[in-house]
Amino acid sequence: MGSGVQQHQATPLTQGEVLPLPSDSQAEGLKPQTRSVVNSLLSGALAGALAKTAVAPLDRTKIIFQVSSARFSAKEAYRLIYRTYLKDGFLSLWRGNSATMVRVIPYAAIQFCAHEQYKRLLGGYFGYQGKALPPVPRLLAGSMAGTTAAMLTYPLDMVRARMAVTPKEMYSNIIHVFVRISREEGLKTLYRGFTPTILGVVPYAGLSFFTYETLKKMHAERSGRPQPYSYERLVFGACAGLLGQSASYPLDVVRRRMQTAGVTGHTYGTILGTMRDIVAEEGVVRGLYKGLSMNWVKGPIAVGISFTTFDMTQILLKKLYQLRYNNR
């Protein structure tokens, strides 16, 4: 997630503006639009990798609580992390992170790139080409970007969830997860939980991108600076992550329960059925919002790092291109 805006001049666009369509005459090396896509993919991949690695121990702990009926508390979460460290060592806190990277790198790359392209397309459609998008298209661009990325990378999310909640003896590596799930539970299992994932991604990605873009736009208007400082980007990203994840959290719990049903002994068939079972067994708050307080810690950190890394990498790649171009 993020909104680093592409541009083909040395001076950055005003925050929130939409990339203009390139003219046919613009071409040296990569065409500007192709270069924009490549830069977005690279920046998004790096942003996703750094953000998820930074919060991997907290993310793994959250998933373990989400898929169990154990009561969540900050003290119990700390105890789980500490017991895991004592039993399996420090690096075990990042178990499943390789699967996370296999999913997150393409997911983040696709999402950030798609967001930039949807902003450009919606700007042209609504007559705001080269200008900041109004609120509704801004929200729509984020939701569409998240949906596109989720649809293309979902099986990797399933694999990552399985590796996070199982002992390392059960699945030796990512390929092993795919093979065992396909052989023992069927290929359809790789898409179990897909519907709640999409339903959750729409508000999550939409609100996250919308909030971040809006805060940067307001900052540019009030400060007179087209680009915020790095620490300001982190704060804007943290706010975006807090709102986005809070809005979609119950569906995240449902998604995790459905994804891990094959190894937890439960049978979850539908979204509403899963919600009913969770509420009946654990209650609304303790069930559907289990681990949300941990998400309020890790979510803003991860999203803040992700947005900031994307923007700063975009700026760096743009400067490197300009430096190379000027030295010709």
pLDDT in tens, 59-70: 778 777 767 766
Token readout for 277 is 């079972």
Residue, of 102 and 306, whose pLDDT is higher:
306
Position 30 confidence tier, pLDDT thresholds 50, 70, 90: low
State the SS3 of 11-44.
CCCCCCECCCCCCCCCCCCCCHHHHHHHHHHHHH
User: Is the pLDDT score of 10 beyond 50?
Assistant: no
Name residue 150's amino acid. A
What value does the mean pLDDT of the chain take? Answer: 82
Report DSSP letters for 86-145, one per residue: HHH-GGGGGTTHHHHHHHHHHHHHHHHHHHHHHHHHHHHHHT-TTSBPPHHHHHHHHHHH
User: Is the pLDDT score of 8 beyond 70?
Assistant: no
User: Is the pLDDT score of 29 beyond 70?
Assistant: no
User: Is the pLDDT score of 167 beyond 80?
Assistant: no
Distance from C-alpha of 35 to C-alpha of 8, rounded to nearest angstrom: 9
User: Is the pLDDT score of 45 beyond 70?
Assistant: yes
User: Is the pLDDT score of 193 beyond 50?
Assistant: yes
User: Is the pLDDT score of 107 beyond 80?
Assistant: yes
Residue, of 86 and 279, whose pLDDT is higher:
279
Token readout for 176 is 């092993």
DSSP annotation of 286 reads I
Q: What is the pLDDT of residue 26?
A: 43
Distance from C-alpha of 25 to C-alpha of 36, rounded to nearest angstrom: 16
* Nearest partner of 107 among 54, 174, 157, judged by Cα: 157
User: Is the pLDDT score of 244 beyond 70?
Assistant: yes
pTM: 0.74
List, in order, residues 6 or more apart from 221 with CB less than 8 Å away.
none
Burial class (CB in 10 A: 0-12, 13-18, 19+), 298: buried
* Nearest partner of 138 among 212, 199, 201, judged by Cα: 212
**What are 49-104's pLDDT values in tens digits?**
999 998 888 877 877 776 776 677 677 777 888 887 888 788 777 877 777 788 89
* Nearest partner of 163 among 306, 262, 270, 303, judged by Cα: 262
Of all residues in the chain, the percent with pLDDT exceeding 70 is 86
DSSP annotation of 55 reads T
Of all residues in the chain, the percent with pLDDT exceeding 90 is 33
* Nearest partner of 107 among 144, 151, 164, judged by Cα: 151
